[in-house]
């Protein structure tokens, strides 16, 4: 396994695209949501699979260090919404994508609030790292740039003044 | 119409470069076919029966003369010299080579065009009234909101891998020409004392399970459109079915949950987004609206000029065209002109490169350099001065673009069908052509009055067969093509789904079947009653009896 993790916190969006690869497993797999719910002492990490009702986490988000979101197949886009909702609800810890997502999705993933990625190979991690470092113009506000373009746009007429 | 600034251009240019890279990696074998598929689909590229098909976006149907010329050039350079107007107001070319698609996208980007999200399981091209901004009955011009929502939906990070495609239509007119009740989300914009508000309809759609949309939220302030739509689509993304692609549209989810329960889930998400940076700013509405201000109209009297009146009384062909293909304009002295792409022997919606060039030139000469595509697969010149109509008509005639058939039996909506599309169960274009050929007497066609005949080659209903007064659906039975006929469907505010007449027919029987249906109408109609009103009054049984009487 190859991991790519942002060294900066989520609350610092401008440094968000600085990712550090590591070949060592940074931590053991997080418990599944079911086990987390059943545990008497709540672990600080949890894994969410698509379709699981994660509302139970909402009042615990400040206590969680890492949430892993699974992608069983890359075309299953539920994890994008799960991530963005968690960020909208104020979660600031590590949000890691695991499973079958592909490197072509890496920008969308990071824009939805993922700041850690688990890859099958070092070459994938390398490609992703390069992509994440590229600055791109976008219309929507997101985890990397909270303001939508219509709140940032400087009209060309104003620029020429 | 809207013009890109350096931000818009940068976004499209990035996408061109990204798609070029993705295509090269696919061709080198670094990206699997399964991985490449959703990426190319989100860029409008299908792998079809004979060749790839590229669908070029025409946002809410607006296209400039320069853009049309660029499309003409692309059909010459990369394709077979013609294009096809789709029922989603987009433009399709049917014969590009995969290797050259990145170059086509690069050419398009030079005229502020692209193919982003014209297919795939994402938010598709947002459509609206083809007469927006020039027709009476409008509370406001919907196009600034179409453009604001186009920008929001373009390459949205959360909604690129939805359970299925997602289609949004916007209307703001007492007559709904955008079919908002037949869309995943339909938006009706209205003026209220507190500003612009929107009624949001959800869960309409055609396809295998046709459903009319339900009202989800009334009087939503328009500045909240983005936040509210994000809430709706998030609920769909999380809960829409992913196990069966025929049950994956939002209509199935809204129906299964019930509209109230669905709305409750939306409200939970909406609470997270209210009063956030998603609120559309007044200055953005102003900025975008400025692109849709009225062109430089001249001051004319509303009455028809005398030279036009005499042309109309002297020239029967011209008079027919004027009556069928032009409409009253909001601005005195102007008319809205429909260019029917429904000539005999041509697939509905097809247009050659010379016709594209000619229309671009005519738009420059007569209609402020802008055109619109319609979901009826025609093209509109929206701002033509009445005193130039005759000249325009002569030029259209020269290019075989003056068929005076708008709103008639000849003005069929028809998907590409089995001749091109790999999803189709049956051909649809030859059926349209056979019907046109059978009813080639235009006096008879005019006498029939307004009839909407829609043809789809499969359940996916790209030809909108469910909402045609007469709907034809191609089906496959043990390898043979058959056609199911339905009657009584309609679009607009009274949208309803047609009723199936009975067992299906072979292709060769279709002109006769249509003839029998029309005979029933002609013999039973009262005074000026239209086909659909006669159907409403007498029901389906007399049609059934006439059509099946001799076939037993």
Neighbours of B298 (CB within 10 A): 10
User: What confidence tier does A26 reach under pLDDT thresholds 50, 70, 90?
Assistant: low
d(CA B84, CA B378): 10
Contact criterion met (CB below 8 Å) for A67 and A10: no
What are the tens digits of pLDDT across the range B143-192? 999 999 999 999 999 999 999 999 999 999 999 999 999 999 999 999 99
Contact A148 B278 (CB under 8 A): yes
The per-residue pLDDT for B292 is: 97
Which residues in chain A are contacts of B158 at CB distance < 8 A?
77, 80-81, 84, 108, 112
Q: In chain A, how many domains are there? A: 1
Q: Please count the other Cβ atoms lying within 10 Å of the Cβ belonging to residue B450.
A: 14
Whether residue B138 is predicted with pLDDT greater than 90 in this model: the reply is: yes
- DSSP assignment string, A133-161: HS----SS--SSS-S-HHHHPPPHHHHH-
Report yes or no: A102 and A77 within 8 Å, Cβ to Cβ.
no
Give the pLDDT of residue B318: 97
Given a contact cutoff of 8 angstroms between Cβ atoms, the answer to whether A33 and A52 are in contact is yes
Residues of B in contact with A76 (CB under 8 A): 161, 242
Contacts of A82 in chain B (CB under 8 A): 238
CB neighbours of residue B352 within 10 Å: 17
For tokens 């701002």, the residue is: B383
Give per-residue pLDDT as tens, B238-277. Answer: 999 999 999 999 999 999 999 999 999 999 999 999 999 9
- Give the tens place of pLDDT for each residue, B104-123: 999 999 999 999 999 999 99
Best A55, A61, A72, A80 residue to mutate vs chain B (most B CBs within 10 Å):
A80
| b/e map B477-514, b = 16+ CB within 10 Å | eeeebbbbbbbbbbbbeebbbbbebeebbebeebbebb
By the 8 A CB rule, do B391 and B417 touch? no
What residue numbers bound the domain in which A14 lies?
Answer: 2-160
Query: Is the separation of the CB atoms in B349 and B92 below 8 Å?
Result: no
Residue B234, pLDDT score: 98
Query: Closest residue of A to B158, CA-based?
Result: A80
**Mean predicted confidence (pLDDT) in A43-57:** 96
Q: Give me B431's structure tokens.
A: 């059926």
Task: Of B19, B104, B95, B117, give the one whose Cα is nearest residue B70.
Answer: B104
> Is the reported ipTM for this assembly greater than 0.95?
no
Of B371, B360, B365, B366, residue with least CA distance to B338: B371
**Which pLDDT score, from 0 to 100, does residue A15 have?**
34
Q: What Rg, from alpha-carbon coordinates, does chain B have?
A: 23
**Chain B positions in Cβ-Cβ contact with residue A136 (cut-off 8 Å):** 11, 14
* Paired strand residues for B476: B481
Beta bridge partners of B93: B54
What kind and span of H or E run contains B41?
A: helix B33-41
- The answer to whether B10 contacts A137, with C-beta atoms less than 8 Å apart, is yes
Q: Backbone phi, then psi, for B205, in 5-degree steps?
A: 165, 160
Measured between beta carbons, the chain A residues lying within 8 angstroms of B284 are 150-151, 153
Using an 8 Å CB-CB cutoff, list chain B residues near A102. 35
Shortest Cα distance from A28 to chain B (angstroms)? 27
Q: Using the beta-carbon criterion (under 8 Å), do A140 and B35 form an inter-chain contact?
A: no
R_g of chain A, CA atoms, integer Å:
17
Q: Where are the alpha helices (DSSP H) in B45-166?
A: 65-78, 101-109, 143-153
Question: Tens of pLDDT along B437-486?
Answer: 999 999 999 999 999 999 999 988 888 999 999 999 999 998 899 999 99
pLDDT tens, residue by residue, A75-92: 999 999 999 999 999 999
Q: Tens of pLDDT along A116-148?
A: 999 878 888 888 888 888 889 999 999 988 999
Contact of B214 with B202, CB cutoff 8 Å: yes
Which of A41, A40, A98 is CA-nearest to residue A66? A98
For B292-349, write each residue's pLDDT tens digit.
999 999 999 888 999 999 999 999 999 999 999 999 999 999 999 999 999 877 888 9
Of B7, B159, B161, the CB nearest to A137: B7
Cα dihedral angle (B375, B379, B382, B385), rounded to 10 degrees? -150
The count of CB pairs under 8 A between chains A and B is 98
Q: How far apart, in Å, are the Cα atoms of B38 and each of B41, B99, B113, B152, B314?
A: 5, 17, 20, 20, 57
Which of B10, B121, B238 is closest, CB to CB, to A78? B238
Percent of chain B with pLDDT over 90: 86
The one-character DSSP state at B347 is -
CA distance linking residue B149 with residue B83, whole number of Å: 27
Per-residue pLDDT, B462: 87
The rounded distance, in Å, linking the Cα atoms of B279 and B51 is 43
- Quick one: tokens of A122? 């070092």
Question: Structure tokens of B91?
Answer: 């433009």
Which residues are registered as beta bridge partners of B429? none
Q: Are strands B195-202 and B214-221 parallel, antiparallel or unpaired?
A: antiparallel
Q: Of B289, B137, B154, B262, which Cα lies nearest the Cα of B200?
A: B262
Model confidence band, residue B50 (pLDDT cutoffs 50, 70, 90): low
Instruction: Name, in order, each residue with C-beta under 8 angstroms of A158's C-beta and a sequence gap of 6 or more.
Output: none
| Inter-residue contact B472 to B453 (CB < 8 Å) | yes
What's residue B374's pLDDT? 95
């Amino acid at each position: 396994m190859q991991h790519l993790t942002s060294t900066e916190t989520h609350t610092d969006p401008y440094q968000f695209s600085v990712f550090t690869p590591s070949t060592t497993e940074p931590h053991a797999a997080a418990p599944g949501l079911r086990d987390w719910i059943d545990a008497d002492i709540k672990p600080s990490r949890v894994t969410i699979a698509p379709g699981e009702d994660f509302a139970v986490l909402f009042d615990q988000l400040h206590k969680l260090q890492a949430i892993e979101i699974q992608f069983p197949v890359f075309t299953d886009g539920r994890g994008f919404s799960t991530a963005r909702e968690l960020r909208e609800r104020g979660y600031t810890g590590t949000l890691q994508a695991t499973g079958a997502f592909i490197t072509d999705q890496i920008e969308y993933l990071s824009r939805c609030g993922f700041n850690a990625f688990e890859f099958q190979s070092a070459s994938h991690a390398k490609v992703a790292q390069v992509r994440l470092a590229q600055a791109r113009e976008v219309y929507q506000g997101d985890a990397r740039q909270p303001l939508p373009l219509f709140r940032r746009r400087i009209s060309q007429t104003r620029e020429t003044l | 119409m809207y013009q890109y600034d350096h931000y818009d251009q940068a976004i499209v240019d990035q996408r061109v470069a990204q798609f070029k890279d993705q295509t090269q990696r696919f061709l080198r074998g670094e990206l699997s076919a399964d991985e490449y598929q959703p990426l190319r689909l989100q860029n409008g590229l299908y792998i079809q029966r004979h060749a790839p098909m590229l669908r070029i976006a025409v946002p809410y149907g607006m296209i400039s003369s320069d853009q049309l010329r660029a499309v003409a050039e692309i059909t010459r350079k990369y394709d077979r010299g013609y294009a096809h107007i789709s029922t989603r107001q987009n433009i399709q070319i049917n014969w590009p080579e995969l290797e050259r698609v990145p170059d086509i996208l690069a050419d398009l980007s030079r005229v502020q065009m692209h193919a982003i999200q014209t297919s795939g399981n994402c938010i598709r091209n947002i459509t609206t009234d083809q007469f927006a901004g020039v027709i009476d009955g409008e509370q406001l011009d919907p196009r600034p909101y179409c453009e604001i929502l186009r920008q929001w939906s373009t390459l949205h990070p959360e909604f690129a891998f939805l359970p299925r495609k997602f289609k949004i239509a916007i209307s703001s007119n007492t007559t709904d020409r955008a079919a908002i009740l037949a869309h995943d989300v339909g938006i009706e914009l209205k003026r209220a004392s507190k500003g612009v508000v929107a009624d949001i309809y959800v869960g309409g759609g055609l396809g295998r399970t046709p459903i009319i949309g339900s009202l989800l939220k009334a009087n939503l302030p328009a500045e909240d459109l983005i936040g509210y739509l994000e809430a709706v689509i998030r609920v769909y993304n999380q809960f829409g079915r992913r196990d069966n692609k025929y049950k994956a549209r939002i209509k199935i989810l809204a129906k299964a949950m019930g509209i109230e329960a669905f709305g409750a889930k939306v409200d939970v998400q909406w609470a997270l987004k209210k009063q956030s940076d998603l609120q559309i700013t007044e200055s953005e509405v102003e900025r975008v609206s400025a692109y849709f201000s009225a062109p430089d109209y001249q001051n004319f009297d509303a009455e028809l000029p005398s030279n036009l009146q005499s042309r109309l009384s002297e020239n029967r062909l011209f008079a027919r065209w004027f009556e069928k293909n032009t409409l009253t304009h909001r601005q005195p002295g102007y008319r809205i002109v429909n260019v029917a792409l429904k000539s005999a022997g041509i697939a509905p919606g097809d247009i050659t490169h010379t016709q594209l060039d000619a229309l671009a030139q005519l738009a420059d000469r007569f209609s402020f350099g802008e055109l619109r595509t319609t979901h009826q697969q025609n093209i509109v010149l929206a701002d033509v001065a009445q005193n130039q109509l005759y000249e325009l008509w002569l030029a259209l005639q020269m290019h075989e673009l003056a068929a005076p058939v708008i709103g008639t039996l000849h003005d069929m909506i028809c998907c590409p069908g089995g001749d091109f599309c790999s999803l189709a169960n049956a051909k649809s274009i030859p059926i349209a052509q056979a019907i046109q050929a059978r009813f080639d007497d235009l006096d008879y066609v005019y006498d029939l009055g307004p009839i909407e005949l829609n043809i789809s080659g499969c359940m996916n209903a790209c030809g909108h067969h469910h909402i045609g007064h007469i709907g034809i659906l191609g089906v496959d039975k043990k390898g043979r093509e058959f056609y199911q006929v339905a009657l009584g469907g309609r679009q607009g505010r009274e949208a309803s789904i047609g009723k199936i007449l009975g067992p299906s027919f072979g292709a060769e029987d279709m002109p006769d079947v249509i003839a029998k249906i029309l005979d029933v109408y002609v013999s039973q109609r009262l005074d000026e009653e239209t086909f659909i009103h006669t159907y409403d009054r007498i029901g389906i049984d007399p049609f059934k009896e006439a059509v099946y009487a001799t076939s037993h």
